[in-house]
Amino acid sequence: MNEPITLPFVAVDGMRPTLPTRATEGSAGFDLYACIDKMVTIAPGKRALIETGWKLTMPKNMVCFVVPRSGLAWKNGITVLNTPGTIDSDYRGSIKVILINHGDEPFFVLPNMRVAQLVFSTVVDMNIVALETGKLFDETSRGSGGFGSTGV
């Protein structure tokens, strides 16, 4: 098993955010907490930009995704609008979460509430090239079938 990677998180000037945490030992994602002074109301069909109070530094071969919390999605219809939100290794700004309310009732984001998760992954370094021939792919039994071609 690999040793854990240490990633530096820095609080945004003047903020006292809660460090992202794993809910359980086996959790893939780190919970992100709202770093807000007062409650934010998200009406049905509306969205809000929620500050987390953190900046981070990642190695060039990493990416971080901001993803929804399943409990908020199931119980309240709250999800991350641009799922997954992608944080590139060269981004140095504040981590913010775009929440949208797909539910039927207003949703109240409270200070220090868990609003999303961070999931980290490695990035494969590659070059993309254009070929002039149309015979790029090996034939497969699936071929170009998609969008339900394998059944329900």
Residue 23 lies in a domain: yes
First to last CA, the chain: 38
Dump pLDDT digits (tens) for 37-65: 999 999 999 999 999 999 999 999 999 99
Higher per-residue confidence, 1 vs 24: 24
Whole-model pTM? 0.86
pLDDT one-digit tens code per residue, 82-118: 999 999 999 999 999 999 999 999 999 999 999 999 9
Average pLDDT over the chain reads 93
* 112 in any annotated domain: yes
Instruction: With cut-offs at 50, 70 and 90, classify the pLDDT of residue 34.
Output: very high
Burial class (CB in 10 A: 0-12, 13-18, 19+), 35: buried
Residue 105 Cα distances to 12, 99, 100, 115, 152, angstroms: 32, 14, 12, 17, 32
**Number of independent structural domains in the chain:** 1
Does residue 3 form part of some domain? no
Specify if 2 maps to a domain. Answer: no
Question: Do the domain assignments include residue 29?
Answer: yes
Q: What is the CATH number of the domain that holds 78?
A: 2.70.40.10
**The predicted structure's pLDDT at residue 94:** 97
Interval 116-140: pLDDT, tens: 999 999 999 999 988 777 666 677 7
146: three-class secondary structure by DSSP: coil
**65 half-sphere exposure, CB direction, 13 A CA radius:** 15
On whether residue 143 sits in a domain, the answer given is: no
Distance CA 40, CA 110 (A): 7
100 forms beta bridges with: 47, 79
Report pLDDT for 138: 73
For tokens 């071609």, the residue is: 149
Q: Does 140 reside within a domain?
A: no
**22 is in which domain, residue-wise?**
9-122
